[in-house]
Amino acid sequence: MECPDSVVAAVFRIIQSCNSGEENIVVEIIPVGLIKEKFEGKIPHHVAAAGLTVQELLSRLPIQTDLVAFIVVNGRLVSRDHRLSDNDVIKLVPMVGGG
């Protein structure tokens, strides 16, 4: 029986993670507004985020963490202590002011 490539890739990824002792999690970051400028044209930005919370991820990015007002993961508003999962799509939204 032949497996589709996507199944083989997923199995390889799980085996690789088990052998290394660390889970291999990759997330996609979509910066919005003023935050977008800090990523120097690398949008969307993919990073390894094995076992990180949103706050831990933010501290590793090329931005001031206080610029981020809202974090949306997979279309859902989350707190900074939300633990990330493989293939999460994270939208970073800055505070917007005006008058």
Name the residue with higher pLDDT: 87 or 8: 87
- Residues facing residue 36 across a β-bridge: none
Spatial separation of the C-alpha atoms in residues 72 and 88, rounded to whole Å = 10
- Does the pLDDT at position 73 exceed 90? yes
- Does the pLDDT at position 5 exceed 90? no
Domains in the chain and their CATH numbers? 26-94 (3.10.20.30)
- Residues facing residue 29 across a β-bridge: 45, 90
Name the residue with higher pLDDT: 34 or 70: 70
Q: What is the pLDDT of residues 33-69, one digit of tens each?
A: 888 888 776 666 777 887 889 999 998 888 888 889 9
- Does the pLDDT at position 8 exceed 70? no
Q: What is the pLDDT of residues 75-96, one digit of tens each?
A: 999 999 999 998 899 999 998 7
Phi, psi of 89 (to 5 degrees): -110, 120
